Structure 1
């Protein structure tokens, strides 16, 4: 089978860049696709560091100017893995240049930026240019199965949603003021970084939109040591040794969904002992479903239609070839990991590009999450006042 190349250029090479690189390296080895990903160039500001990253991660070459990379004739797709303050600028330039775009979540730092990105994506689609927002957890097979079971009516009418994403990586007050703790680069804190995931997942799984919220945010450590060097914040340049944390450390909110369900959400970086704990539970009139990221290959299912003597949560080991994505991997019972969700993500994007269809989640879906984030922040600023989520 002759396959055409989709030539990829990626901006950013740290945590997310490494995860995305693994996906681009792996996708055509795991899945039989009509196109082939070619890792042409990775871009970063430090020539030495990005050159080393290109060698380590499997890219053909490196660049230090994302604008030049976007304009290259040998790049078909731009993958954006940098802080949120650059998402809109890079995506708009790439779409204008006729490049497909994969942009990490959250889509942007503001609603206005996200709306501009959606408008650009809609215009580019007319010329066959595709765009996707990178919510990788949609591609965890157990969560994809959860969505399928909800869509099939197996839990009946959805009544409750509860979702939590718990981390502890900044509990130490001496942890430095990295970019994720500054509003001008990150947009928001735990709310946008990990809260965005549970917002997207619950809307994806239930098929319902969050319509209103009552929110609370808190910043527990309000000053942190400046990093050795950090885009104009270095201690040597300013004479200061600490700087203000300008984002939330934790966010909690109540919500109503468009189908009538009620929901609770918690996103925090101060859950001491929790490294990357994400849990989603859906309760319906006919059953319940629960997922825990620390048991990534499992889904809990309670079927209320079973006889009383047989009722109880059933553990589904999501490793069968009939389960979403799993036919590409190992025999039943052999587990996959976090990195596979990114491989599944680019698999779906490449399939959409090859078939001329619109990949999901779209930039419009990313805007939908951005509008919820904005409503939570507005509610928290108004001491938890009930706040309607704007429509896209």
Structure 2
């Protein structure tokens, strides 16, 4: 296997999530050789992180042509994901693309086709559904697949944030033209759905949804604002909101490979206007023998529920939350691992898959997985409009 530090990365995008990728890669020993964005922001991020190749004026083609970059990380706004993915794949670069993979399934199918065309010797492609690599997610996945919880009955949960609570809160994701027609459910709800799908080992095949826009009109600055940053409230203009603030989604899942989670029903509440909730991706999986519950804001603990025995709190690194995730956790019990660590574990899995010549198990989300999530988004929009179940 090629040592990971011999693989070299290039990053497109300098907003909130771009430096998260950079930090995780540097922790793995991966060299980040290129950064691409506006000239000013690319220079600023490049200087901060010691990145030698600066590609200003969004000149991604020049970065793709660099012989010093093997893997491209796409952390740009949603509307340009597909064209940037296709160009990188055409240049023979491996790709890790932020979610969602694209704006429509017509677009994302092009990526699926391009990856398939590359075949076994073609570039590796991953979508950045990093929640799969929280140790708790992997632990619950192992428990479900083994039958520890019995036959799975249903899943319930939520993903709540409050960073877009006020009418003056603004980010490009609020605009359908920039982020897609589905915002809260598309941006954070798909993280919830992908994590639950991964744990169950099954994909959602039909949905019933209701979405709402509370702020019909918002106020925005004349320029752009990075995710989670505050705008200058003295220089704001009104604009009509064409994406949702919150929603409720019912899902029916298909068959699981192991047989313990066939035809599971799930329900999720999604909101970016839930005051007091910063980043709470939470769900419970309920089976005939027991249940597991987890929240991203308390990532190192799983609540194990039983009917006829005492409930337990499983802590990462201790018995019951140790052996199944040994390859995806680096620190001893009590030394918390969270958001930045799951990014590191995700990129380690992708880069090891590249280094091994695709011989490791691809636990990460593929182009086909990313395409399916966009299918779900389109079905959710259709369901909310028609007020009926829609097949995916």
TM-score (norm 1): 0.89
Pair 1:328–1:279, CA change in 2 (3 A): closer
Q: Distance in 1 between matches of 2:2 and 2:199?
A: 36
Q: 1:49 aligns with which of 41, 54, 68?
A: 41
Say whether residues 1:62 and 2:54 are aligned partners. Answer: yes
Match of 1:118 in 2: 112
Pair 1:327–1:138, CA change in 2 (3 A): closer
Contact 2:222 2:237 in 1 (8 A): no
Deviation at 1:302, TM superposition (A): 2.2
Deviation at 1:126, TM superposition (A): 3.8
Say whether residues 1:95 and 2:89 are aligned partners. Answer: yes
Unaligned runs of 5+ in 2: 226-234, 255-261
Match of 2:390 in 1: 387
Q: 2:294 aligns with which of 288, 291, 294?
A: 291
Deviation at 1:166, TM superposition (A): 0.2
Q: Distance in 2 between matches of 1:23 and 1:230?
A: 26
Say whether residues 1:314 and 2:312 are aligned partners. Answer: yes
Q: Distance in 2 between matches of 1:247 and 1:67?
A: 32
Contact 2:2 2:356 in 1 (8 A): no
- The size of the alignment, in residue pairs, is 366
Match of 1:331 in 2: 332
Helix, strand or coil at the partner of 1:108: coil
Match of 2:65 in 1: 71
Deviation at 1:138, TM superposition (A): 0.5
Q: Distance in 2 between matches of 1:299 and 1:159?
A: 19
Match of 1:377 in 2: 381
Deviation at 1:279, TM superposition (A): 0.5
Q: 1:186 aligns with which of 175, 179, 191?
A: 179
Contact 2:159 2:279 in 1 (8 A): yes
Contact 1:27 1:343 in 2 (8 A): yes
Contact 2:135 2:328 in 1 (8 A): no
Q: Distance in 2 between matches of 1:41 and 1:328?
A: 28
Pair 1:156–1:58, CA change in 2 (3 A): farther
Helix, strand or coil at the partner of 1:171: coil
Pair 1:2–1:265, CA change in 2 (3 A): closer
1:104-253 correspondence to structure 2 within 5 Å: 104-176=98-170, 178-187=171-180, 188-230=182-224, 241-253=237-249
Q: What do the CA deviations read for 1:125-154 (whole angstroms, capped 9, x no partner)? A: 343311001111101001110101111110
Helix, strand or coil at the partner of 1:120: helix
Query: What is the alpha-carbon root mean square deviation over aligned residues?
Result: 2.0
Q: What do the CA deviations read for 1:302-343 (whole angstroms, capped 9, x no partner)? A: 245xxx3xx132100012463525676222222112100100
Deviation at 1:262, TM superposition (A): 1.0
Unaligned runs of 5+ in 1: 29-36, 232-238
Q: 1:39 aligns with which of 9, 32, 42?
A: 32
Q: What do the CA deviations read for 1:253-312 (whole angstroms, capped 9, x no partner)? A: 1121112211101111111111111111100111111111111101111245xxx3xx13
Pair 1:106–1:300, CA change in 2 (3 A): same
Match of 2:15 in 1: 14
Contact 2:218 2:240 in 1 (8 A): yes
Contact 1:278 1:294 in 2 (8 A): yes
Match of 1:235 in 2: none
Pair 1:153–1:323, CA change in 2 (3 A): closer
Q: What do the CA deviations read for 1:231-255 (whole angstroms, capped 9, x no partner)? A: 9xxxxxxx99221211111121112
Contact 2:115 2:122 in 1 (8 A): no
Q: What do the CA deviations read for 1:68-122 (whole angstroms, capped 9, x no partner)? A: 1112222211100011101100000000110000001111111111111111111
Contact 2:207 2:250 in 1 (8 A): yes
Q: Distance in 1 between matches of 2:312 and 2:239?
A: 49
Helix, strand or coil at the partner of 1:374: helix
Q: Distance in 1 between matches of 2:271 and 2:49?
A: 31
Q: Distance in 2 between matches of 1:53 and 1:293?
A: 28
